[in-house]
Amino acid sequence: MTFPKGFLLGASTAAHQVEGNNIHSDLWAQEHMKYTSFAEPSGDAVDHYRRYAEDIALLAGAGLNAYRFSIEWARIEPEEGRFDEAEVEHYRDVIRCCRSHGVEPVVTLHHFSSPKWLIEKGGWEAESTIDYFKRYAVYVIERLGSELSYVCTINEANMGLQIAAIAKRYMMQMQKAAAAAKANAAQQAESSVQMGLNLESILAARKAAAEESRELFGTENPQTFQTQRTEAGDILIMRAHAAARDAIKAICPELKVGVTMSFHDFQPEPGCEDVAVKEWADEFTHYLPYIEHDDFLGVQNYTRTRLGPDGQLPMPDGAELTQMGYEFYPEALAHVLRAVAKDFHGDLLVTENGIGTADDSRRVEFIRRALAGVQDCIDEGLTVKGYLHWSLLDNFEWQKGFSMTFGLIAVDRANGQVRQPKPSLAFLGSYASK
């Protein structure tokens, strides 16, 4: 297998999941609520904030040439209108560390977590958020843009409607499920969104947490990025992306700017093709007007979704499941790349793909089969410019806490955060020299 010259092969992280002590963010506040939906708080996560140089050196030492990471808005602007230059310099150091190792930094400006003050002002359903996000993007790019080649504005900009859909489906499942099947119904619903969501806990804690949320955010229903989106809020996120993209291009026209989206490989049963068309429209095609001027699209995929006449079908009997309850199905990535390429004609960059598993040999097999599919897509003429595995490190997987292990590098949190590279890191790196 030989990828084209300049192909980006590397791994991804998200700031809140690896840096730790993100004390000015909305998620930090939610983690520490009495009635929290989080299994545990992030704390110092895996201390990537201080140990980034070690982690980047491990990535580069394996032969990888790209690292996608996020800049944390809540660090840059901890209070409305107050920007922290020291934090900008921190991320400049991360970028320069990448460059010193021959690693291309791919920066994401927003990866799920937001400043707490933004949520107090209405969050991701408020019109003002468009201007706030644009202002933040301009601030960062004016200072760091000359040192970058790739910028993702927003991670998984299409996730809000997915969460709304699975919440509705979850409630329907729970109404139909017998008490003995309650846990299974919850898992089935949660596994249909590609993040560490603990939907059952979220819904159970909602009423109890209402007053606590009012004290923290000024509202019983804080509109964080991970909240179920209205149709207006869904489009608001895309408008924020477009506003930031245009502002970034005005400052640094040479920068490649895009957005990342979460995609499922929809596979309809015979006669259910119309169901798949609707699902794909909800997941992707209705966003096309907002990304048609993007330089690239970040493609994120973890599994497939089988569809029947009433929507999502259960996992096949005997299917191998990952820690997240996803079906082990690496071929989904190539299917999604082909589907996306039919409607989006810019470059494609795989910004997340991987599995949560304690068995690294299965991660190796997942990578092997996923990359074979990427190679096939390139051979077919698709402009796939890179593959960034999720994730570089075992980390804080949102509401699921530290129990999910997606990393190419294990972290011994009970023993000084010692890094332990897994065989999958070297396996992924081996493709860089082929």
Q: Sketch out the chain's domains with CATH numbers.
A: 8-433 (3.20.20.80)
Q: With contact defined as beta carbons under 8 Å apart, do 3 and 378 qualify?
A: yes
Question: Is the separation of the CB atoms in 73 and 136 below 8 Å?
Answer: yes
Structure tokens at 54: 């070690």
User: What distance in Å separates the CA atoms of residue 343 and residue 237, rounded to the nearest whole number?
Assistant: 20
Distance set, CA 340 to CA 7, 132, 175, 212, 233 (Å): 19, 30, 35, 42, 23
- What integer pLDDT is reported at residue 183 of this predicted model? 59
Decide if 89 is catalytic. no
Q: Which of 156, 190, 200, 327 is catalytic?
A: 156
What is the rounded CA–CA span in Å between residue 228 and residue 217?
A: 17
pLDDT at residue 256 in the model: 98
238 by DSSP, 3-state: which? helix
Answer yes or no: are the C-beta atoms of 194 and 300 closer than 8 Å.
Answer: yes
Percent of the chain at pLDDT exceeding 90: 87
The model's confidence at residue 211, banded by pLDDT at 50, 70 and 90, is confident
Alpha-helix residue ranges (DSSP H) falling in 124-229: 128-144, 159-176, 182-190, 199-217
Going by pLDDT thresholds of 50, 70 and 90, the confidence category of residue 165 is: confident
Does residue 205 register a pLDDT over 90? no
What is the model's pLDDT at position 164? 77
Q: DSSP letter for 325, please.
A: S
Give per-residue pLDDT as tens, 98-133. Answer: 999 999 999 999 999 999 999 999 999 999 999 999
> What contacts 16, CB < 8 A, 6 or more positions away?
22, 25, 27, 28, 42, 45, 70, 72, 111, 112, 113, 396
Q: Are 350 and 384 in contact (CB under 8 A)?
A: yes
Q: Retrieve residue 111's tokens.
A: 């990866």
Q: Which residues of 209-244 are buried (b: 16+ CB within 10 A; e: fewer)?
A: beebbeebbeeeebbbbbbbbeeebbbbbbebbbbb
Say what the pTM is. Answer: 0.93
pLDDT of residue 361: 98
Q: What mean pLDDT do residues 176-205 have?
A: 61
Q: What is the pLDDT of residues 319-349, one digit of tens each?
A: 999 999 999 999 999 999 999 999 999 999 9
Q: Could you tell me the pLDDT band of residue 194, with boundaries at 50, 70 and 90?
A: low
DSSP states of 74-133 as a string? HHH-SBTTB--HHHHHHHHHHHHHHHHTT-EEEEEEESS--BHHHHHTTGGG-THHHHHH
Which candidate, 74, 78, 81, places its Cα nearest to that of 128?
81
Cα–Cα distance for residue pair 234/227, rounded to 1 Å: 11
